[in-house]
Structure 1
Amino acid sequence: MRICLLTYRGNMYCGGQGVYVYYLAKALSRLGHQVDVMAGPPYPSVPDGVKLHKIEGLNLYETNGLSSLGNPLQLLRPLNFYEVVATRLGMFPEICTFSMRAYMRLRHLVSRERFDVIHDNQTLGYGILLAKGLGVPIVATIHHPIFIDMKADLAQAKRFLSKFKRTKFYSFLVMQHLVAKRMDRIITVSEVSAADTTRIFRLPEDKVRVVPNGIDTGVFKRLNRVEKEPDSIVMVGNTEDRKKGVTFLLQAMQLLRGDVDVRLSIVDRQGDYTKYAPKLVQENGLEDVVTFTGRLSLDELVRRYSVSQVAVTASVYEGFGLPCAEAMSCGTPVVATRAGALPEIVGNDGAGILVPPADPAALAAAIRRLLADEPLRQRMGEAGRKRIEESFSWEIAAKKTLEVYEEVL
């Protein structure tokens, strides 16, 4: 089968979408299928045997000014002009412009090559709708409805102007709702996400399939001869995303610091892009106990999981929760919330501690319990590793995804 995967941001450092496409492409290719990846900037590295098609884009949220244009005359191109103006107005046009550019590339490719299926990774832009006219079935993955992100943002925005700006940023949701209804099948990555996607997008249940993400257990594993750092905690995630619950984790740190010499490492981008969490750290006087690592390579990330005594996922919602699963795969005990799909990952067989979301006291109590009990950390780390090995494999995910493809052929 020849498969074309679409992702508007391809690099694995952009978050879950880049990780998803990389490992799904790798697993599909290993099963003997021909895989093409069509990605916007920042561009990914792709597995051996997978063909990459780079779709131009301005990536205005991660570049300075209009430096990505190169030649100023490129601003005269309609999609570039729209992307610049819409971004300056506080909107997020990247999804729409990527989809239109991808459609034009697909139209050119399909005229001389044949894809059996197009798989869109939560772009859901108008260009994907146009691609329906190419005569190729289209499957879309919705990791979780972005409406939930908007709801979380608005809940934490205190002023009317802030709420207005966040609502304007999420104006692309209207487009995504229109496009999602016209996809041949929708894949979600958890039972919770499936229920939320069906409800929010008003989709018929027979169109939605659940295919959980996998974890590369050959990469995410406990490193030998690496000593744990005493009273160390790690959080991995985009702290600008209010759903990640960093404010509640930092409140828990305040509760802990009086009786535990605790240290928190936050793995996230640094610089102008990341402002929310550093501001909270400063406001709460936690500079001496919280460290921002910046972006880490894959090897560095595995090492950070391995040296940490506890990994925390404090999210108020997760469609899946890759950092939680990665930590478990590394044998690091986890404290996670009962939010979204996290209970599906952690389970109820001793692989982690689940606490109510948005509850700093419960987070602090669970962290304190683990830091004080080395045998419990050992048992929980082993149980977490076993659960990931048995339940979350990219090979299984690829095979289930192929079953969805077969339904639309």
Structure 2
Amino acid sequence: MSSDPTALAQSATAATGSAQVIPIEEARPQRRLHICLLGYRSAPFGGGQGIYLKYLSKALVDAGHEVDVISGQPYPHLDPRVKLIKMPGMNLFETGLGSLRPHPLSSLTNIIEWSSKLTGGFAEPYCFGRRVVKYLKRHGRHYDIIHDNQSLSFGMLKLQKLGFPLVTTIHHPITSDLDIALKAANSLVDRVLIRRWHSFIQMQRQVAPQLHHVVTVSERSREDIAAAFGMQPAAIQLVHCGIDTDEFRPLPSVKKIPRRLMATVSADAPLKGMSYLFEAVAKLLPRYPDLQLLMVGKIREGGEAEALIEKLGLHNHIATASGISTEQLVRYYNEAEVAVVPSVYEGFGLPAGEAMACGTALVSTTGGALPEVTGDAALQVPVRDAQALADGIDALLSNAEQRRALEVAGRERMEELFCWSRAAQQMLDYYEQVLRSENG
């Protein structure tokens, strides 16, 4: 398997749900707000939460407001005008127990985080909540709004009880991740470990229904959150994510690389459906022997994805790229003839929007909210269907006219419906509603 993308080159109508959308009042903020965004982990690549924090904070600053981000590790990449307040935890999800030294166990929160990791759990959201409450009680009374990005920890209920005006974004219920991971598990031991790691969902189930102000990013997510957490859809505000269409844009000087596919996704997360894309690529090789897939993300050494690539004989047809700049990511989108989003479920689907904003023809599954994002500006195929993915990719590779039509339609859809300035203004209107309700 090649890790050098350059070497590879050398060798619509949106779906809607049944719940009624709550209109946001047309009351533009008349004062400058000081907003604090929270993220328990905010990696700039490989996860929608870090992307959400980066672009929402930038759009809020662009709108004239002051924004701080309090984040655990890995930290986000932020606009220089946004202040990052680092809230370091033990980051055991990234470093493992082998990096532990005695002195970090000096606090109860660290002991909880370490003990959970030792027994196969994931306590980062819970421990981040404890650390944030301690910090904001001392230093946070000047904020007009505290906006949590899906930690859904008991600490958020504590902040709410202490009188902080709190808004919470839930991108989608992690119960969906759990269900998909369990279906993909190969043994009873795997299923036990998966359930243990996802045990933080029990906390989320208790916290979410008690939050006063919840916002989500798609109609599908709103319906799924309500079902998973026993909430009323009408109690959840809808504000779509945005795409930075100034940053993610067509680059006329960049030439398409023939038979280059691109996917921005984690290969080892069953939710993202990369195994189906690998199988689709294998099905297409007899017709397109020079087909290449650039995957922006990591393939875990010794993991199931690597084993599948070996089994299908795809090493010479797949390259990976990770830790790249946004500028390089945009270039890769522009070089691809076809972008693919094979996800089984997405609460929104930022990679789909990014590809469309770059003017790249897209094949997307119908997983989760993807039909809301892509509408009729992408070719949609069923989830968990490698043959359908192969047929969709084949249809676009063999039809330049259809690719061109989708390139134009995708860009137009992102500019009209999903720009971050629009999303930020809707969020600011919601903040004003929250502040009025909090102040009586």
Normalised by the length of structure 1, the TM-score is: 0.95
Equivalent residue number for residue 367 of structure 1: 393
Contact 1:184 1:408 in 2 (8 A): no
Kindly report which structure 2 residues correspond to 1:162-181, keeping only aligned pairs within 5 A, or say none: 162-181=190-209
The alignment status of 1:383 with 2:409, answered yes or no, reads yes
Contact 1:338 1:356 in 2 (8 A): yes
Distance in 2 of aligned mates of 1:376 and 1:245:
25
Distance in 2 of aligned mates of 1:276 and 1:101:
35
Kindly report which structure 2 residues correspond to 1:293-312, keeping only aligned pairs within 5 A, or say none: 293-312=321-340
Equivalent residue number for residue 188 of structure 2: 160
Kindly report which structure 2 residues correspond to 1:23-172, keeping only aligned pairs within 5 A, or say none: 23-67=55-99, 72-110=102-140, 113-172=141-200
Distance in 1 of aligned mates of 2:380 and 2:299:
29
Distance in 2 of aligned mates of 1:4 and 1:134:
16
Equivalent residue number for residue 378 of structure 2: 352
Deviation at 1:197? 0.7
Distance in 1 of aligned mates of 2:261 and 2:46:
23
Equivalent residue number for residue 396 of structure 1: 422
Deviations 1:310-366 (A, max 9, x none): 000011111000111100011100000111111111112xx2100111111111111
Contact 2:299 2:306 in 1 (8 A): no
Kindly report which structure 2 residues correspond to 1:206-245, keeping only aligned pairs within 5 A, or say none: 206-245=234-273
Deviation at 1:224? 2.2
Report the secondary structure of 2:266's partner residue.
coil
Kindly report which structure 2 residues correspond to 1:167-316, keeping only aligned pairs within 5 A, or say none: 167-261=195-289, 262-270=291-299, 275-316=303-344
Deviation at 1:284? 1.7
Distance in 2 of aligned mates of 1:54 and 1:264:
36
Deviation at 1:228? 1.2
Deviations 1:218-245 (A, max 9, x none): 1111222212111110110122221111
Moved more, 47-56 or 364-373: 47-56
Distance in 2 of aligned mates of 1:342 and 1:270:
24
Report the secondary structure of 2:45's partner residue.
helix
Count of residue correspondences: 402
Amino acid at match of 2:79: P
Contact 1:118 1:138 in 2 (8 A): yes
Deviations 1:153-206 (A, max 9, x none): 000002111101100110000101111112121111011011101111111233
Deviation at 1:142? 0.6
- Contiguous gaps of at least 5 residues in structure 1: none
Over the aligned positions, Cα root-mean-square deviation in angstroms equals 1.5
105 and 21 in structure 1: CA distance in 2 versus 1, 3 angstrom threshold: same
Deviation at 1:49? 2.7
Q: Which has the higher contact order (CA 8 A, sep 6+)?
A: 2
Amino acid at match of 1:35: V
Deviations 1:91-117 (A, max 9, x none): 01111111110111111113xx42222
Distance in 2 of aligned mates of 1:118 and 1:142:
14
Contact 1:269 1:295 in 2 (8 A): no
Equivalent residue number for residue 38 of structure 2: 6
Deviation at 1:14? 4.8
Deviation at 1:64? 4.8
Contact 1:270 1:294 in 2 (8 A): no
Deviations 1:262-312 (A, max 9, x none): 11111103555x833222211222112122223321111111111110000
Deviation at 1:27? 1.0
Contact 2:243 2:418 in 1 (8 A): yes
Report the secondary structure of 1:209's partner residue.
strand
Distance in 1 of aligned mates of 2:362 and 2:152:
33
Normalised by the length of structure 2, the TM-score is: 0.88
Distance in 1 of aligned mates of 2:295 and 2:304:
13
Distance in 1 of aligned mates of 2:332 and 2:82:
30
Deviating above 4 A after TM superposition, structure 1's stretches of 4 or more consecutive aligned residues are: none
Deviation at 1:12? 1.2
Equivalent residue number for residue 406 of structure 1: 432
Amino acid at match of 1:399: Q
